[in-house]
Homo-oligomer: A and B are copies of this chain.
Amino acid sequence: MLSIGTLAKRTGTKVQTIRYYEQIGIMPEPGRSEGGQRRYGDEELDRLAFIRHSRQLGFSLEAIRELLDLSDSPERSCAEVDAIAQRQLREVEARIGRLEALRVELRRMIGECDQGQMADCRILQVLRDHEECLTDHDRGGA
């Protein structure tokens, strides 16, 4: 039987996070010691490791809840699991795309900065320079 602290160490999770998972219902209420402390077995260890690994892969807790539900009902097809993973992949790719665009703009901005005085700092000018943004919203909104 494992204490919450041991479980935490073994899975690289903080103790409060485990209690939080219990609170939101993705970890079960475990048994207790005589003194009222949580005691876990291997099943809970596996479940928590699954959750943490999925979190590391960027799955939301809601998606993980779905995955756990699916894995509890073996009569359903693997296709549903696949769909969740595909969705996750698409989200990751979208995020990468957005960040790459940011990187381009940041690099351009930084490249133009020649370490002069504030008055003509290119970075601030670029950030202040919202012409495109403004007209964007103007045309779009009105």
Contacts and interface: CB of A to CB of B under 8 A. Distances in A.
A73 B115 CA distance: 15
A110 B89 contact: yes
Count of identical protomers in the assembly: 2
A82 to B, nearest CB: 5
A115 B82 contact: yes
Contacts of A92: 99, 102-103, 106
Contact of A78 (B67, B115, B136): B115
Nearest to A114: B78
A118 B78 contact: yes
B110 A85 contact: yes
Main secondary structure of the interface of A (DSSP, over half): helix
Interface stretch (A15-23, A28-36, A51-59): A51-59
Nearest to A107: B89
Contacts of A73: 118
Contacts of A109: 85
Interface string A84-121: 01101100110110011011011101100111111111
